[in-house]
């Protein structure tokens, strides 16, 4: 049972453009939504995370938008750069805490071309 | 500043062979995890250890065993490897339960032929 659906599977964006990755979840008990960035040959690393009490969170060029009623959240990368080329995973978890409860999306491979 | 260290980085096994993947963290974290990553499947939890002395099954535990050797080390063992266990394996650790960040190792690429 896939509880977090991520799209698209792959994405090609021109340098300077906006990259948008979408995720949808089913379990309304989820209350923590992190995004991970993974470069080839490396492990995932936390990029940015949001809780459902806010609709948007911005860190530099990376923004998470959250729509609780639609059960959707998305990652926007503004002014995309070739160095942003990586695989991005959304995830979701619910209280009580514990990282073992995190459910990951299937990943989006982003390629930013010059 | 090693973080989470996994060994080996690459391994090829024949069907039926056994092996142990090693993981160590130097961040004094209480919780440790083993994931597998397969194309189109994301990361799936195999086993985890919420604290030293405890281990529990995750989403896909069949064919694996784990040992939390001490607070730093958490190993994953394949007793009789199968081609379906061909994957990239990641070890991770987090400070404790709750929404703390998890830190991942660089992964072990395992091929079972």
B31 touches chain A (CB under 8 A): yes
* CB A91, CB A101: distance < 8 Å: no
Token pair belonging to A110: 């982003």
Task: Give the pLDDT of residue A103.
Answer: 87
Ramachandran angles phi, psi of A101, nearest 5°: -95, 0
What pLDDT score does B1 carry?
63
Of the candidate ranges A1-10, A63-72, B19-28, B78-87, the one whose mean pLDDT is the lowest: A1-10
Residue-wise pLDDT tens for chain B (113 aa)? 679 999 999 999 999 999 999 999 999 999 999 999 998 888 999 999 988 999 999 999 999 999 999 999 999 999 999 999 999 999 999 887 665 678 999 999 999 99
What residue of B is the nearest CA neighbor of A40? Answer: B106
Q: What CA–CA distance (Å, rounded) separates A81 from B9?
A: 29
Q: Could you tell me the pLDDT band of residue A28, with boundaries at 50, 70 and 90?
A: confident
pLDDT value for B85? 98
CB-based burial label for B2 (10 Å; 0-12, 13-18, 19+): exposed
From chain B, the residues in CB contact with A100 under 8 A are 31, 33, 45, 48, 50, 56, 58
Contact A89 B102 (CB under 8 A): no
Q: Does A9 touch chain B (CB under 8 A)?
A: yes
* Cβ proximity of B82 and B13 under 8 Å: no
A3 touches chain B (CB under 8 A): no
**For residue A96, pLDDT beyond 60:** no
Pairing between strand A108-113 and A10-14? parallel
The mean pLDDT value for A57-81 works out to 96
Are A99 and B48 in contact (CB < 8 Å)? yes
């Amino acid at each position: 049972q896939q509880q977090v659906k991520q799209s698209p599977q792959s994405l090609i964006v021109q340098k300077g453009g906006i990259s948008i990755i979408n995720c949808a979840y089913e379990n309304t008990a989820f209350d923590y939504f992190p995004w991970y960035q993974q470069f080839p040959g490396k492990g995932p690393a936390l990029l940015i995370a949001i809780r459902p009490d806010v609709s948007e969170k911005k860190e530099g060029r990376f923004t998470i938008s959250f729509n609780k009623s639609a059960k959707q959240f998305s990652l926007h990368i503004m002014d995309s750069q070739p160095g942003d080329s990586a695989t991005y995973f959304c995830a979701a978890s619910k209280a009580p805490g514990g990282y073992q409860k995190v459910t990951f999306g299937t990943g989006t491979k982003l390629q930013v071309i010059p | 500043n090693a973080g989470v260290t996994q060994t080996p980085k690459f391994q090829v096994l024949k069907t039926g062979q056994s092996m142990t993947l090693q993981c160590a963290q130097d961040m004094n974290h209480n919780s440790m995890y083993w994931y597998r990553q397969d194309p189109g499947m994301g990361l799936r939890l195999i086993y985890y250890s919420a604290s030293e002395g405890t281990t529990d099954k995750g989403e896909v535990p069949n064919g694996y065993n784990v040992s939390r050797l001490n607070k730093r080390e958490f190993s994953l063992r394949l007793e009789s490897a199968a081609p379906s266990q061909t994957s990239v394996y990641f070890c991770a650790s987090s400070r404790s339960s709750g929404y703390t960040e998890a830190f991942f190792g660089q992964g072990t690429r395992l091929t079972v032929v």
